[in-house]
């Protein structure tokens, strides 16, 4: 009995398990407080009508034992434009000493959330009072995002990180091949990536604090006929995970889902179904064997200018006369820029990498990235566990691969109208992006296969 007592006393006085990280969390409700114009579908003709799921902005701050920090911010929104993320990054650098590479923004790309200006600005021509609502929402959103960055950094506590991957099967390639060309539909034989990466954050006592996970699929189960605010399947998956893992913060990141759609789609029941299947896959992976993540943290960020195909004033003068209101609106914008002698020839493109020890690297790409980029990156860097996200740091337009660009269709051509871009990219778009990817990954110690 005496020996047992001494043993228990000794165990109680042992130091806590050594951790290589500290982690902090923050979360804010960013659901619009009033009916507001919704983003993602051009056919909508009035503001939102109620709420299906609340929208959230969430932050995960991680600091290694050398005091290197990163903050990952996720949002249940259509996308965050560079006008917002650049401003927040500058403020975070001044206030918290975070370099640009240490702060990552990702959006779920829900099509049942509010318009986030100036994202997809050609899709809508709104007047008061709807325009004022969107401006007010954007102002508040900036402050909310900055608040959770600071709150997550202020919440840093000893933590252990671990990583695993699982799969979910509801994404399908949507670039359907027809005799008249590519259309949005179903392409069961098209490229997909069903992998679901999962990062688990646990406290020093072993309790689950955060689940960061991703999937490559458009967040468009709910269509343009739906007018209730929601985060679609991504929100339902987060709700399910937080309900089944009490006390944990679930954070969804959208991977390269530019040409991937949920299947089936069209109803709230479908969104719930996909959310549950994704949450179930993540939950089962958490119950299995995970790989411990070790220090250090490394990060890199750069931008590259992507070139558009050659365009002329004459083509937009012709387009301005078309009956299609969206094309005519885009043409007027392009002509105004020609008048100012600053037509759009390029767009800046962000590429970011955060490497977690040698266990995995999060590669974050801007824009609506098609699945070809994820598949090629994993093939060219097979000795590294790569998680390739799109919709990060800026969502300026679709980013087609050369294959998609040559095939044409919505992701390559038609979508540029709604984003207010002058037209398709030049043929070197994929190589310019991959040159930037290679340089960025090299800065965090990730090299191509020999």
- Statement to judge: residues 430 and 331 lie in one domain: no
Q: Could you tell me if 210 and 319 lie in one domain?
A: no
Predicted confidence pLDDT, tens digits, the chain (450 residues): 444 343 333 333 334 457 899 999 999 999 999 999 999 999 999 999 999 999 999 999 999 999 999 999 999 999 999 999 999 999 999 999 999 999 999 999 999 999 999 889 889 888 899 999 999 999 999 999 999 999 999 999 999 999 999 999 999 999 999 999 999 999 999 999 999 999 999 999 999 999 999 999 999 999 999 999 999 999 999 999 999 999 999 999 999 999 999 999 999 999 999 999 999 999 999 999 999 999 999 999 999 999 999 999 999 999 999 999 999 999 999 999 999 999 999 999 999 999 999 999 999 999 999 999 999 999 999 989 999 999 999 999 999 999 999 999 999 999 999 999 999 999 999 999 999 999 999 999 999 876
254 and 325 part of one domain: no
Report if residue 352 sits inside a domain: yes
pLDDT tens-digit readout, 276-288: 999 999 999 999 9
pLDDT given for residue 236 in this prediction: 98
Which range of residues forms the domain containing residue 435? 21-304+347-443
Task: Quote the CA–CA distance of 294 and 361 in Å, as a whole number.
Answer: 12
Please say whether the beta carbons of 145 and 73 come within 8 A.
yes
Residue length, the chain?
450
φ, ψ of residue 237 to 5 degrees: the values are -65, -40
Same domain, 144 and 124: yes
SS3 260: strand
317 and 419 share one domain: no
Query: Within the chain, how many helices (H) and strands (E) appear?
Result: 11, 19
Q: List all residues 6 or more positions away from 379 whose beta carbon is below 8 Å from its beta carbon.
A: none
Q: Are residues 321 and 362 in the same domain?
A: no
Q: Could you tell me if 319 and 188 lie in one domain?
A: no
| The model scores a pTM over 0.75 | yes
Same domain, 278 and 416: yes
Give the three-class secondary structure for 277. Answer: helix
Same domain, 192 and 333: no
- Cβ atoms 415, 393 nearer than 8 A: no
Domain tally for the chain? 2
Q: Are residues 274 and 376 in the same domain?
A: yes
């Amino acid at each position: 009995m005496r020996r047992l007592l001494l043993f228990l006393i000794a165990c109680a006085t042992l130091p806590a398990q050594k951790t290589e990280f500290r982690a902090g969390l923050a979360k804010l409700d960013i659901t619009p407080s009033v009916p507001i114009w919704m983003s993602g579908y051009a056919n909508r003709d009035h503001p939102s009508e109620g709420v299906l799921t609340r929208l959230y902005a969430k932050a995960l701050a991680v600091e290694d034992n050398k005091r290197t920090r990163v903050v990952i911010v996720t949002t249940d929104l259509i996308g965050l434009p560079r006008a917002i993320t650049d401003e927040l990054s500058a403020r975070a650098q001044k206030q918290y000493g975070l370099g640009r590479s240490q702060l990552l923004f990702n959006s779920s790309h829900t099509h049942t959330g509010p318009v986030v200006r100036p994202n997809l600005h050609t899709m809508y021509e709104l007047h008061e009072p709807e325009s004022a609502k969107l401006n007010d929402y954007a102002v508040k959103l900036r402050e909310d995002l900055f608040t959770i960055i600071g709150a997550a950094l202020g919440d840093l506590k000893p933590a252990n990180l671990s990583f695993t991957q699982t799969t979910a099967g509801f994404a399908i390639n949507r670039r359907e091949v027809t005799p008249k060309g590519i259309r949005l539909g179903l392409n069961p034989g098209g490229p997909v990536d069903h992998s679901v990466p999962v990062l688990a954050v646990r406290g020093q006592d072993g309790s689950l604090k955060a689940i960061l996970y991703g999937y490559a699929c458009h967040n468009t189960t709910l269509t343009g006929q739906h007018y209730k605010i929601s985060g679609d399947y991504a929100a339902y998956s987060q709700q399910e995970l937080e309900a089944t893992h009490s006390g944990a913060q679930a954070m969804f990141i959208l991977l390269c889902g530019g040409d991937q759609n949920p299947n089936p789609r069209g109803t709230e029941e479908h969104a719930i179904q996909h959310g549950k299947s994704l949450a179930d896959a993540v939950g089962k992976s958490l119950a299995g064997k995970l790989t411990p993540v070790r220090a250090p943290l490394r990060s890199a960020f750069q931008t590259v200018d992507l070139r558009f195909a050659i365009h002329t004033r004459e083509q937009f003068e012709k387009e301005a006369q078309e009956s299609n209101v969206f094309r005519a609106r885009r043409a007027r914008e392009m002509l105004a820029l020609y008048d100012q002698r600053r037509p759009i020839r390029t767009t800046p493109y962000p590429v970011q990498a955060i490497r977690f020890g040698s266990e995995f690297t999060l590669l974050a790409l801007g824009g609506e990235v098609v699945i070809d980029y994820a598949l090629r990156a994993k093939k060219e860097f097979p000795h590294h566990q790569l998680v390739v996200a799109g919709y990060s740091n800026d969502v300026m337009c679709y980013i087609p691969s050369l294959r998609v660009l040559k095939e044409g269709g919505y992701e390559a051509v038609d979508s540029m109208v709604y984003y207010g871009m002058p037209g398709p990219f030049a043929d070197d778009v994929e190589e310019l992006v991959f040159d930037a990817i290679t340089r960025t990954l090299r800065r965090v110690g990730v090299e191509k296969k020999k």
